[in-house]
A and B are shown apart, each in its own frame.
Chain A
């Protein structure tokens, strides 16, 4: 076997240097750098375009369709469609004017100095350094949450916090880790801590409490409500962070239950609270947060979906990393699997799982009850990767929790899913999931043109907040009054709806 050649990629403006084997997909490499793929990396939009400054990257047919001859000439490429065949220097378009990503320009009051926006997730952290006078992102850093070694999900984190010194340990870990992320941002953008004026953090209620040093005991049992979910403000010096003496660190307020400021930020980013018509936002993670509503009233909830969408508790499940089956399609009655990194398949990630089950329903390898056809115990996707009967059951639990949660919220709002004008999907999984498959398995029963993958709305919202701190102090009092948290565990109809939603829709039903 010949040794595969490796290539070097330098990413601008972050200055990050990567090495990867020839043939590796730019999508996989850049995803890990925080680049988003709005259409799920299928070459259907232009969201992930990058400019190749040095080196060559072939443009395939999909790119020639989406990019003008002039753009191609100027070096523009769709990252999701490129594989590595040369050393490259690429410039990321996404962060250039990230604040202005949508059609209605975001009017921000330019102010001197720099700011940092942090999305503090249970699993991952993302931080961006932003120039507050131009809106330009100067550097980005991602990391796995260092607390994760003390429990992968929030409940186990809470359990650890309950033990002696547990909470203090978690608090110390996360404060230090974010300080070090910020230091890295400063180093790569060659700026000093003195220039940083504001830091805005967002995260779910447990992350909020653990960072801010608030007792998490009320979040560990019924009714899972804390009284201290408001805006928390710190001086950088209090946290022993090496920033400007006058700089302020804010953790934005939560919305109730486990629904935190990451969802508040998502509401800001998708402008849900300004919509005249009914719209929704969904974050398909372990806690499956959902928001629906309009400019006068919004309802939110978290739905306990479990980790199936992240590939956990699936026998051959894995994260969306090299070797994961990320897409499955049916061609001539046969399964065609796409594997991240173009290597031999090792497992299946969340988007692959949803696709696979949708394909299975299509070719009747899976019945609408969720049962594998012919009473088989497992079903081969691509040797050696199989789905077991139990894997399908896990997906049924997760999708039923989300589907039941959204039905209950929509009922509160007095509407139905079909009447939503648009549903935004937040987060990485929302970016990768194929919308037609989500519909086929009954997770989101909407035509694909009514579902928009919206990327990391938590981070975008945190960044927007950096610019509105002057008028608002970050407590969003008025907005929060319009958002009602609905505790699903108090809802009498939940169990019946949940059980109803466990089955898959029986056949392709086109409703529009």
Chain B
């Protein structure tokens, strides 16, 4: 088993100490930090996303896998600063809409995006549209990702889109939405650019939105 495969397996199995040890060993053997992302961490989280979509993994398995991935990325991130070769896949401002406190799904989506190489600005839950606007300005975000779990708070996604338009930012940023009650057609009806049924779909959507921009 190559050292990349080893790290990939440790992440899928949710073994954070192993992920940490393998990462350190890889660096010791002269592997460049930037290589570990495309060869181990991203494919591992893709596999985790696939397993979640196919109901093989459930929330606990996904969360511990994400924790293992973080054990590796925590070591790697500081080493990547200033590395010309690694370009962020894009900056995503994410959060759960105003009035809504459900964040388990949003957190999973954020973790998957992060492992896929996106910079994440997580605004948390009960996020008012103004806060999204401010964050998009401050971080020059490429994508806004909003989550809602209640039929009564879904409408606040539209409020975010309207606020971005009012602030003159709508053309600079793509908006994607998701969460259990949200559907593709709802996303279209409020003028969102993308929708994700689950966390792995969210990653694909974010990628294609950034590519299209």
Given A222-B99, A369-B61, A498-B104, A159:B55 Cβ within 8 A: no
Does B78 lie at the interface of the complex (its beta carbon under 8 Å from any beta carbon of A)? Answer: no
Does B114 lie at the interface of the complex (its beta carbon under 8 Å from any beta carbon of A)? Answer: no
- The segment out of B2-10, B131-139, B147-155, B184-192 that lies at the interface is B147-155
Given A221-B99, A489-B101, A375:B151 Cβ within 8 A: no
Enumerate B146-165 residues with CB–CB distance to A below 8 Å: 150-153
Interface flags, A40-52, vs B, CB<8A=1, else 0: 0000000000000
Does A396 lie at the interface of the complex (its beta carbon under 8 Å from any beta carbon of B)? Answer: yes
Cross-chain contact B151 with A502 (CB below 8 angstroms):
no
Does A144 lie at the interface of the complex (its beta carbon under 8 Å from any beta carbon of B)? Answer: no
Enumerate B25-58 residues with CB–CB distance to A below 8 Å: 55-56, 58
Given A222-B126, A499-B63, A396:B153 Cβ within 8 A: no
Expressed in whole angstroms, the minimum distance between the Cβ of B73 and any Cβ of chain A is: 21
A221 to B104, CA, bound (A): 18
Expressed in whole angstroms, the minimum distance between the Cβ of A180 and any Cβ of chain B is: 29
A222 to B100, CA, bound (A): 6
Chain B binding surface, main DSSP class: loop
Cross-chain contact B60 with A159 (CB below 8 angstroms):
no
In the complex, what residues of B have CB within 8 A of residue A495's CB?
A: 103-104
Given A155-B151, A158-B152, A375:B55 Cβ within 8 A: no
Does A6 lie at the interface of the complex (its beta carbon under 8 Å from any beta carbon of B)? Answer: no
Chain B residues touching A, range: 10 to 19
Q: Which of the residues B58, B100, B153 comes within 8 Å of A369, measured between beta carbons? A: B58
The total number of A-B Cβ pairs within 8 Å is 50
Chain A binding surface, main DSSP class: helix
Cross-chain contact A221 with B152 (CB below 8 angstroms):
yes
A388 to B89, CA, bound (A): 36
Cross-chain contact A156 with B56 (CB below 8 angstroms):
no
In the complex, what residues of A have CB within 8 A of residue B101's CB?
A: 222, 489
A210 to B60, CA, bound (A): 39
Cross-chain contact B152 with A220 (CB below 8 angstroms):
yes
Q: How many residues of A contact B (CB 8 A)?
A: 25
Interface flags, A375-412, vs B, CB<8A=1, else 0: 10100000000001110010010000000000000000
Cross-chain contact B151 with A499 (CB below 8 angstroms):
no
In the complex, what residues of A have CB within 8 A of residue B60's CB?
A: 369, 499-500, 502-503
A388 to B150, CA, bound (A): 25
Cross-chain contact B56 with A375 (CB below 8 angstroms):
yes
Given A159-B151, A495-B103, A502:B59 Cβ within 8 A: yes
Cross-chain contact B58 with A221 (CB below 8 angstroms):
no
CB nearest neighbor in A for B156: A221
A158 to B103, CA, bound (A): 22
A499 to B153, CA, bound (A): 23
Interface flags, A472-512, vs B, CB<8A=1, else 0: 00000000000000000100000100111011000000000
CB nearest neighbor in A for B55: A389
In the complex, what residues of B have CB within 8 A of residue A8's CB?
A: none
Interchain residue pairs with CB less than 8 A apart (9)? A155-B150, A155-B151, A156-B151, A221-B153, A369-B58, A495-B103, A499-B59, A499-B63, A503-B60
